[in-house]
Structure 1
Amino acid sequence: MGREGPGLLLRDIRRAAPDVSAIITAIASHAPDALMLLDFDYDLNGLALLAFAAQLAEAGHPMPYHIAPQPNSGVATGLDLDGDGRSGTADDAQGWAAFAGSGGMALLSRWPIEHAALRDRTGFLWRDLPDARLPRFNGAPFPAPEVFDIQRLASVAAFEVLLLIHDRRLTIMGYHAGPPAFGGAHQRNRNRNADETRFWRLRLDGLLGPPPTAPFVLLADANLDVENGAGIHSEIAALLAHPSVQDPHPTGEHPARGVTSDTTGYWPEGPGALRVDYVLPSAELRVLDAGLYWPHPQANHALIWVDIAWPP
């Protein structure tokens, strides 16, 4: 749902633009208890998110609780992060974007969100990740050591929060990694993409503070397929194989391709069909069913749904 400039998403939600209406219909028909929206433009007062929630309620599926921390996308740094000799370009923001807040993340819920329990990981510095894959060129840090004094790991956002469901708490964790392509000879984007997923594996191992409180669900656009496309495939494979999580491996039929598969992202003029989006419940939760739904033929990503038994 991302747009080309600030305020345009709010405009299109209020206008009930066709793609917005298709997404509203898809969500209302699946009636989720909790929903993570990706590529949802952030604005300071959350007006777009409020308008979107209002339309969901009008469609018969109210989700009155929501949270959307400010993303890194488009946040200016004043430095030359990509080493091209210029500053102030989209590549010099904390996360690539044409404007601040572009393509953010938002969580909506039928159940209360404990805002005080928010653990926003969006500001975590890349250099602070153990054994970080900081880009190097000809053996030297690239583009300059001072860049990594401010360079954050998350391309978009990463956070953890609690839902209160029938007096029991469910930890929701979410992140949206940048694409592993377009990184140049120093492989900056490829390395950063891998480390954005590796961050969560280290979280599960308890190597970045105490491990997350179970039960939990990790929601991710890792921009990384286990086998195909660009990127360091072993990182997503290691996360999926982690003993703390289970992979429901949802499938669904793509309306344009006419086939059933585990494809969650489809770019016919780019990398093609990839599995890049994941819903990973913690191991002790009982998964009842899972699947994919494409809101319209032109959509680049499917809605992923997973039913879990509650209470755990």
Structure 2
Amino acid sequence: MRRLLLAAGLALAVLGVAAPASATSHKRDVRFATYNLSLNRPAEGLLREHLANPGVDDVYRRQARNVAEVIQRAHPDVVLLNEFDHDPEAARLFAQNFLAVSQNGAPAQKYPYRYVAPSNTGISSGFDLNNNGVVDTTPGDQAYGDDSFGFGLFPGQYGMVVYSKYPIDYAAIRTFQLFKWKDMPGNLIPTDFYSAEEQAVLRLSSKSHWDVPVRVGGRTVHFLVSHPTPPTFDGPEDRNGRRNHDEIRFWADYVKSARYIYDDKGRRGGLKPGAAFVIAGDQNADPLDGDSYDGAINQLLDHRLINSRTAPASNGAAEASALQGGANATHRGDPRYDTADFADTAPGNLRADYVLPRVGLPVRGSGVFWPVRADPLSRLSGVYDPVWAPVNGFPTSDHRLVWLDLAVRR
């Protein structure tokens, strides 16, 4: 019976409709999710302005309503949102004006707990990190983003936020925004590209790494979230590919309680041995295809403490790969597992977004919100269209929401 229920839940999920809890899970199941929803805006303060006025009918509000509907239809209990400009007020407004208001009949979702913190994106380093001969300190242009600790046209662009229906242990949160790349033993810094002075200040995380403890009944689950840089937009030195690899490696070491790690308050060490955790985020790395450095994501997928046996899938991703062709036709990976629609660029569609639990946390169901085109909800994923160019070319995002149902004992 359990196998039949799970199969039914997955069948609904791959069509783009998250199965109701009664169909797929036990009362103790918790749905964890990650979603790069492209709620980044081209100028500081614009996201807050857009979310404060939900009734305006323009491309920005339509996109915000669409991504809110995706979240409502997937109804995660704990969710990481990538590419959400850093602004605590914007995070509140999105929850209040969009998620808590039904979109097209989808069930409103209320998240009484949320967490947002600063990002390295758009923070000037004071150095010429792209080696173009100029230290750019003027926010708003490409060169400024390249010379920042993490690419961004202004401080906090492409940030993150966590929403939760379960209590967050705010006092126990750990952030690693300031951790230096050089302090990771065996790091992959291209020392022939960065000067000694630059290597001394470079931060590992292109946004940040957060350990957000969530209390599920009597148990704490550490929600380990991040958004490593894409392994592209560089040169033969592969500085972004190398950084992506080491940003992913950080969690692989953290769950093994590595002593070299220190957080932004100076506390040393990784996760306490035996602690429950879920790693989530747009890792910008596919296990078989794309531009990753040295199989970066396999540091997590092959980790002895991480359960990667369940790979969330969708029929919509398989259909998109076949219809779009191009680079997809040469991919080695199974297209059902793709989570990002990059058909308009060289890599093709990839598996980039992950929800990975600790070994021992039973997985009850999983899915990727990528409806097939015959499904009415495919309007929420769509295909690249210039009409959506101000918001990344899609009615929601070029990424898809990925979810996993876990049995968390209470």
Settle same-fold status: TM greater than 0.5: yes
Tell me the TM-score normalised to structure 1 length: 0.93
Q: Which residue of 2 aligns with 1:3?
A: 41
Letter in 1 for 2:256: D
- Equivalent pair of 1:226/1:233 in contact (CA under 8 Å): no
Amino acid at match of 1:67: Y
CA RMSD of aligned residues (A): 1.7
> TM-score, normalization: structure 2?
0.72
Query: Structure 1 residue 262 and structure 2 residue 337: aligned?
Result: yes
Question: Which aligned pairs between 1:207-222 and structure 2 lie closer than 5 A?
Answer: 207=258, 208=261, 209-212=269-272, 214-222=275-283
Q: Give yes or no for the alignment of 1:106 onto 2:161.
A: yes
Q: Does 1:303 align with 2:401?
A: yes
Q: Where in structure 2 are the equivalents of 1:1-312 lying within 5 Å?
A: 1-16=39-54, 17-43=61-87, 46-54=88-96, 55-59=98-102, 60-88=108-136, 89-137=144-192, 142-207=193-258, 208=261, 209-212=269-272, 214-247=275-308, 248-254=310-316, 257=320, 261-270=336-345, 271-294=347-370, 295-297=380-382, 298=394, 299-311=397-409
SS state of the match for residue 189, structure 1? helix
Query: Secondary structure of 2:95's partner?
Result: helix
Letter in 2 for 1:135: P
Q: Identity of aligned pairs, percent?
A: 31
Alpha carbons 2:381, 2:400 under 8 Å: kept = no
Aligned residue pairs total: 306
What's the CA shift string for 1:266-306, capped at 9, x where partnerless? Answer: 12221210001110011110100000004421231000011
Residue 210 of structure 1: how far off its partner (Å):
3.9
Distance 1:210 1:105 in 2: 21
Deviation at 1:220, TM superposition (A): 2.1
Is this contact kept in 2: 1:124–1:154, CA < 8 A? yes
Amino acid of the structure 1 residue aligned with 2:49: R
Name the CA distance, whole Å, in 1 between partners of 2:71 and 2:194: 43
More helix by share: 2
1:233-274 deviation digits (Å, cap 9, x = unpaired): 422113111111112200013388276711111122212100
* Alignment check: 8 A CA contact 1:253 1:292 kept: no
Deviation of 1:15 after TM superposition, in Å, equals 3.6
Higher relative contact order, structure no. (Cα contacts within 8 Å, ≥ 6 residues apart): 2
Task: Quote the offset at 1:309 in angstroms.
Answer: 1.1
Which residue in the other structure is 2:12 paired with? none
The CA deviation at 1:182 is: 1.9
Structure 1, unaligned runs of 5 or more: none
1:225–1:233 Cα contact (<8 Å) kept? no
Equivalent-residue separation in structure 2 for 1:69 and 1:246 (angstroms): 28
Measure, in 2, the Cα distance between the counterparts of 1:258 and 1:12.
33
The range that moved more, 283-292 or 262-271, is 262-271
Point out where structure 2 has 5 or more consecutive residues left out of the alignment: 1-38, 55-60, 103-107, 137-143, 262-268, 323-334, 371-379, 383-393
The one-letter code of the counterpart of 2:206 is S
Tell me if the contact between 2:74 and 2:369 (Cα under 8 Å) persists in the aligned partners.
no
Is the CA contact 1:227–1:233 (under 8 Å) kept in the aligned structure 2? no
Instruction: Give the C-alpha shift of residue 95 in structure 1.
Output: 0.2
**Bigger CA drift: 18-27 or 279-288?**
18-27
Match of 1:219, SS state, is strand
Q: Is the 8 A contact 2:84 2:158 kept in 1?
A: yes
Deviations 1:26-48 (A, max 9, x none): 111222110100000012xx111
Residues 155-174 of structure 1: CA deviation (Å, up to 9, x unaligned): 11111021111122111101
1:202 offset after TM fit, Å? Answer: 1.4
Distance 1:130 1:267, change over 3 A: same
Structure 1: which amino acid aligns with 2:113? Y
Mapped to 1, the partners of 2:299 and 2:209 lie a distance apart of 19
Higher strand share: 1
**Preserved CA contact (<8 Å) 2:129 2:148:** yes
Mark the structure with the bigger radius of gyration. 2
Q: Give the secondary structure class of the aligned counterpart of 2:235.
A: coil
Aligned-partner Cα distance in 1 for 2:236–2:342: 24
